[in-house]
A and B are shown apart, each in its own frame.
Chain A
Amino acid sequence: MSDKKKENTALEEVTSGEYKYGFVTNIDSDQAPKGLSEDIIRYISEKKDEPDWLLEFRLKAYRHWLTMDEPSWAHISHPPINFQNIIYYSAPKQKKKLNSLDEVDPELLQTFDKLGISLEEQKHLAGVAVDAVIDSVSVKTTFQETLKKHDIIFCSFSEAVKNHPDLVKKYLGSVVPYTDNYFAALNSAVFSDGSFCYIPKGVRCPIELSTYFRINAANTGQFERTLIIADDESYVSYLEGCTAPMRDENQLHAAIVELIAHDNAEIKYSTVQNWYPGDKEGKGGIYNFVTKRGLCKGHHSKISWTQVETGSAITWKYPSCILRGDYSVGEFYSVAVTNNYQQADTGTKMLHIGKNTTSTIISKGISAGRSNNSYRGLVRVAKNAKNARNFSQCDSLLLGDKCGAHTFPYIKTGNPTAIVEHEATTSKISDDQLFYCQQRGIDMEKSIGLIVNGYAKEVLNKLPMEFAVEAQKLLAITLEGSVG
């Protein structure tokens, strides 16, 4: 029995790590008044000096949003969100346009240092080009010169609207239309910035592109938009990371990510999501309602989503692939960890439309504390999608007896040549595995850490190297506390 007790204590320690990105940076910010109305949308648009067509797009989305109801089907519960109590635009104050990194607010640079993404360092080390978004506005994009050499466009969304309006106009809303869902409509109305990326024909992007999102100001919501276009025969690997300060009230994050892959193109999109999850009593934290979707437009195109979800009070997120091109490939790898009172309802949609399309779904859920962790996924094979192939595996690991793990797969098959398989298991860490580790002299705490990491390995392996290290650490912080 004492062993059992020890195991429980170990589990408790393992599941009680603190959030270490919870600091607030004192940067002056420019804010819109609270609330949402057509005036606010006009205000945002004006602030950003936008063309008329974009304002029109926002207003259409807003008017549509007014007719919609908040979705209630997800396995999450939260008090109603007061959309009039949110500041929809907040930007770090900038006196003038920055010419070099030296002019960036030193507080801001420190913030990024603390986050482990030193913009300064980035300049010297080859590796990752970063577009950093604080609150609503993109503050700095690094590595512009290298990218320019390859004609790659990687900039903030506002810059793209100014410098490449045709591209933005052509692709904005083509994968996630503003009518798509409640939060997508909201985002389309009030989105403030985000990242834009265009990889021209035949270019293999030489460095990893990355966006770092941070919510800093209080009472604000963050509504960014990412649009990535990979033209014929191009390749890009894109990383996204996010953190937020610790605050007692819930903050809303409703983003849209649209990916478009043309013939033979490949997009690899990786996310390490670590928004503030709330404290141990479930107070505060980010509501993360995100619409992410990729369109495999061309033949032999490939879109791969990898996500490590450790943060947010509520995660509502279904990175999806529309496999329209023949022979296109969709992949989804996910580790979702929930602790304390966190709730996650996450999964994917794979829509097989073209012929000979394949998709793979690997989802690993880990629940601890009093959290609820759901996988919700749809695999749909359209009537003409000949020889579609899907394999899904969704495993859940339960740490503790007060949490929940749920699996809600939907399989809709309309073509007899399709082969669709779904497998799922739910279990706790097996005593055999623990015994095996301990027998070899590894103590209880380390054993649990080892097993959890091993369990998630399949997905972590899919992350680019720089992120894999961070993700492993994150997993350690979220679950393992002092345990290595």
Chain B
Amino acid sequence: MENTKKTYYPLENVLIKHFTEHAVEWEQSDPPEVTSQRKGAMDYFKEKGFPNLKMEKWRGTDLDAVYQEELTVFDEETPFDKKVDEIFECEVHGFHTRMISVLNGSFYSKEEAKLTVSPNGVIIGSLARAQKEYPEIFEKYYGKLPNHIEDGFKAINTAMARDGAFVYIPDGVELSGDTLQLIDILNKPNLAVNTRNLIVLGKNAKLSFLHCDDSVNHHAGLINTVSEIYLGENAELELYKLQNINDETALVNQVFIDQAANSHVKISMLTLNGGLIRNEVSDALNGEGASCDIRGLYLVDKEQHIDNHVSVLHNAPHCDSNQLFKGVLDNKATGVFNGFTYVKKDAQQTNAFQRNSNILLSDDARIDAMPHLEIYADDVKCGHGASVGQLDEEALFYLMQRGIPFADARMLLMYAFADDILKEVSIDALRITIEDMVKRRLRGELSICDRCVLHCSNPEQPIIFDIDLSKI
């Protein structure tokens, strides 16, 4: 067992100090339950600190460099001066989104738009406002998931996060037409931010949600996000996560999902760039007939590190789950995949599948794959697989034999490899944009855009794929 922690990293000191200075002030505005949660989480953090390499769930992801930084804790709202579009310039052709944004950890908008309520009861806005104005919803859901202080990052987020996005879709409402887009951005140097998002879908509700993590400068930083997502019966959620942050920032992104009976979740996690990204998705299938399909694609190079932890908990019978993660690693990039499927006792008639495929392109790239299963029911069909390899030599030969140069053939195959994930993006305009981005990424043309990831410097210009497929 771990001993009580005695020495702290600089960053831990900064965080603890900030908490100590502000705890009393926060206590006045927070409901008592939140206050006690913060205290409990802080006690845990003081004892254990940040996770380290020796912890089973953190093997292979070394954040030591981040812990050594004396980052500034930032949890203030940025006053509104420019329109979101002017900062982010986010544009996807033919793709209409309703955009909300979190800037440096706090909800960013005009004062009157901090929390909007539509006639059909949909509430969208800042979590801090929702806590004040809709305490009955806030208190019913906030911090109710069981594992919210499982490690140092979750604990510090629970202790210190004060704002983020809040989305509430009432029973029977479909947020039709537009996709809701949340942009999470850092535009100041050396920040450590803790963001908390709360998304609640009532019975039969439906939401399509795009969450972009971006950075708009090249300074180191740490983003620690926890998102809690609740789905009522028959609710449906499509969640897209697009990550394209600079090489200096560390992003720890944790998503907890609680699914009631017959609800459906589809997640696509697309990581195109990021210094150090840790994604954790924990999806609990708590009602009969619930299902989830979690897919991910990561294309990393240089010295980037990507860590995907996915756990699906089958707590009820007749649930289906599918995990499919694919990655291409180049240069000195390193990756970790840990898929975990848990089938509770008596969760019969479970179908659970898990697959992780990786392509290493260079001698220094490294991947650790850990597809784990833990099963306590007998009438189940569970499978998992993992593979690490190269592009298929024969396929490469086949293409080259037909006159396609090596570089193009290789690209074509990599693109085909990634397509399993891309084709599941059901919003056409978004899929086309992402496909283009992947093509450019694979050609090495898409490094970090200075602005939003979805912004193309010249959107009018079509992206031409080197090979004219019609002539093959």
Please tell me if A282 contacts chain B, counting CB pairs below 8 Å.
Answer: no
Considering the chains assembled together, what is the distance between the CA atoms of A325 and B381 in angstroms? 40
Once the chains bind, are B388 and A424 in contact (CB under 8 Å)? Answer: no
Q: Mark A378-419, 1 if CB is under 8 A from B, else 0.
A: 000101000000000000101111111111111111111111
Once the chains bind, are B371 and A406 in contact (CB under 8 Å)? Answer: no
Q: Which one of B360, B361, B388 has the highest number of Cβ atoms from chain A below 10 Å of its Cβ? A: B388
**Chain A residues near B374 (CB, 8 Å)?**
75, 404, 406
Please tell me if B382 contacts chain A, counting CB pairs below 8 Å.
Answer: yes
Q: Mark B354-378, 1 if CB is under 8 A from A, else 0.
A: 0000101111111111111111111
**Chain B residues near A53 (CB, 8 Å)?**
none
Considering the chains assembled together, what is the distance between the CA atoms of A405 and B56 in angstroms? 20
Once the chains bind, are A408 and B372 in contact (CB under 8 Å)? Answer: yes
**Chain B residues near A423 (CB, 8 Å)?**
383-385
Once the chains bind, are B385 and A421 in contact (CB under 8 Å)? Answer: yes
Please tell me if B423 contacts chain A, counting CB pairs below 8 Å.
Answer: no
Contact count A vs B, C-beta below 8 Å: 117
Once the chains bind, are A421 and B366 in contact (CB under 8 Å)? Answer: no
Please tell me if A425 contacts chain B, counting CB pairs below 8 Å.
Answer: yes
Once the chains bind, are A418 and B386 in contact (CB under 8 Å)? Answer: no
**CB interface residues, B 368-420, toward A, < 8 Å:** 368-390
Please tell me if A420 contacts chain B, counting CB pairs below 8 Å.
Answer: yes
**Chain B residues near A426 (CB, 8 Å)?**
373, 375, 380-383
Please tell me if A6 contacts chain B, counting CB pairs below 8 Å.
Answer: no
Which partner residue on chain B sits nearest A398 by CB separation?
A: B378
Once the chains bind, are A400 and B378 in contact (CB under 8 Å)? Answer: yes
Contact A416:B360 (CB < 8 A) given known A401-B345, A409-B371, A428-B380: yes
**Chain A residues near B364 (CB, 8 Å)?**
383
Chain A at the B interface: SS class: strand
Please tell me if B424 contacts chain A, counting CB pairs below 8 Å.
Answer: no
Once the chains bind, are A418 and B389 in contact (CB under 8 Å)? Answer: yes
Please tell me if B178 contacts chain A, counting CB pairs below 8 Å.
Answer: no
Considering the chains assembled together, what is the distance between the CA atoms of A405 and B375 in angstroms? 5
Interface size class of A (residues with CB under 8 A): 35 or more
**CB interface residues, A 178-205, toward B, < 8 Å:** none
Please tell me if B27 contacts chain A, counting CB pairs below 8 Å.
Answer: no
Contact A411:B388 (CB < 8 A) given known A383-B363, A416-B365, A425-B382: yes
Contact A420:B379 (CB < 8 A) given known A404-B374, A408-B372: no
Return the contact of B390 from the options A401, A406, A419 (Cβ within 8 A).
Answer: A419
Tell me the minimal C-beta distance from B366 to chain A in angstroms: 5
Once the chains bind, are B385 and A424 in contact (CB under 8 Å)? Answer: yes
Which partner residue on chain A sits nearest B367 by CB separation?
A: A413
Which partner residue on chain A sits nearest B370 by CB separation?
A: A410
**CB interface residues, B 185-232, toward A, < 8 Å:** none
Which partner residue on chain A sits nearest B329 by CB separation?
A: A416
Considering the chains assembled together, what is the distance between the CA atoms of A411 and B368 in angstroms? 5
Return the contact of B387 from the options A406, A408, A416, A422 (Cβ within 8 A).
Answer: A422
Once the chains bind, are B361 and A416 in contact (CB under 8 Å)? Answer: yes
Once the chains bind, are A422 and B385 in contact (CB under 8 Å)? Answer: yes
Considering the chains assembled together, what is the distance between the CA atoms of A424 and B384 in angstroms? 5
Tell me the minimal C-beta distance from B334 to chain A in angstroms: 9
Considering the chains assembled together, what is the distance between the CA atoms of A403 and B375 in angstroms? 8
Once the chains bind, are B386 and A422 in contact (CB under 8 Å)? Answer: yes
Q: Mark B324-348, 1 if CB is under 8 A from A, else 0.
A: 0000000000000000000001101
Considering the chains assembled together, what is the distance between the CA atoms of A402 and B382 in angstroms? 17
Return the contact of B366 from the options A72, A412, A422, A427 (Cβ within 8 A).
Answer: A412
**CB interface residues, B 429-459, toward A, < 8 Å:** none
Once the chains bind, are A415 and B376 in contact (CB under 8 Å)? Answer: no
Contact A422:B380 (CB < 8 A) given known A401-B348, A416-B365: no
Contact A416:B378 (CB < 8 A) given known A407-B372, A409-B386, A410-B370: no
Considering the chains assembled together, what is the distance between the CA atoms of A399 and B380 in angstroms? 11
Tell me the minimal C-beta distance from B361 to chain A in angstroms: 6
Return the contact of B369 from the options A401, A411, A416, A424 (Cβ within 8 A).
Answer: A411
**CB interface residues, A 33-77, toward B, < 8 Å:** 72-73, 75
Considering the chains assembled together, what is the distance between the CA atoms of A426 and B381 in angstroms? 6
Considering the chains assembled together, what is the distance between the CA atoms of A410 and B367 in angstroms? 11
Considering the chains assembled together, what is the distance between the CA atoms of A135 and B1 in angstroms? 33
**Chain A residues near B366 (CB, 8 Å)?**
412-414
Once the chains bind, are A427 and B387 in contact (CB under 8 Å)? Answer: no
Q: Which one of B1, B360, B373, B390 has the highest number of Cβ atoms from chain A below 10 Å of its Cβ? A: B373
**Chain B residues near A400 (CB, 8 Å)?**
378
Once the chains bind, are A427 and B380 in contact (CB under 8 Å)? Answer: yes
Considering the chains assembled together, what is the distance between the CA atoms of A72 and B54 in angstroms? 13
Once the chains bind, are A406 and B380 in contact (CB under 8 Å)? Answer: no
Considering the chains assembled together, what is the distance between the CA atoms of A72 and B55 in angstroms? 12
Tell me the minimal C-beta distance from A69 to chain B in angstroms: 8
Contact A409:B375 (CB < 8 A) given known A414-B366, A416-B363, A417-B390: no
Contact A403:B382 (CB < 8 A) given known A416-B365, A419-B390: no
Once the chains bind, are A399 and B378 in contact (CB under 8 Å)? Answer: yes
Considering the chains assembled together, what is the distance between the CA atoms of A427 and B372 in angstroms? 15
Once the chains bind, are B388 and A428 in contact (CB under 8 Å)? Answer: no
Which partner residue on chain B sits nearest A383 by CB separation?
A: B363
Considering the chains assembled together, what is the distance between the CA atoms of A427 and B383 in angstroms? 9
Return the contact of A416 from the options B362, B370, B379 (Cβ within 8 A).
Answer: B362
Considering the chains assembled together, what is the distance between the CA atoms of A426 and B380 in angstroms? 7
Considering the chains assembled together, what is the distance between the CA atoms of A406 and B362 in angstroms? 33
**Chain B residues near A410 (CB, 8 Å)?**
368-370
Tell me the minimal C-beta distance from B239 to chain A in angstroms: 27
Tell me the minimal C-beta distance from A410 to chain B in angstroms: 5
Once the chains bind, are A424 and B383 in contact (CB under 8 Å)? Answer: yes
**Chain A residues near B368 (CB, 8 Å)?**
410-413
Contact A408:B378 (CB < 8 A) given known A416-B363, A423-B385: no
Closest 5 CB pairs of A and B: A398-B378, A416-B360, A411-B369, A426-B382, A407-B373
Interface residues in chain B, defined as those with a beta carbon under 8 Å from any beta carbon in chain A: 1, 56, 345-346, 348, 358, 360-390
**What are 23 pairs between A and B in contact, CB < 8 Å?**
A383-B364, A398-B378, A401-B378, A403-B376, A406-B373, A406-B375, A407-B384, A409-B371, A413-B367, A413-B369, A415-B360, A416-B362, A417-B390, A419-B389, A420-B388, A421-B387, A422-B385, A423-B384, A424-B373, A424-B385, A425-B382, A427-B380, A428-B379
14 further A-B pairs in the complex, CB-CB below 8 A; given A404-B376, A411-B386: A398-B380, A401-B348, A403-B378, A406-B375, A407-B373, A413-B360, A414-B366, A418-B360, A418-B389, A420-B388, A423-B384, A423-B385, A424-B384, A425-B381
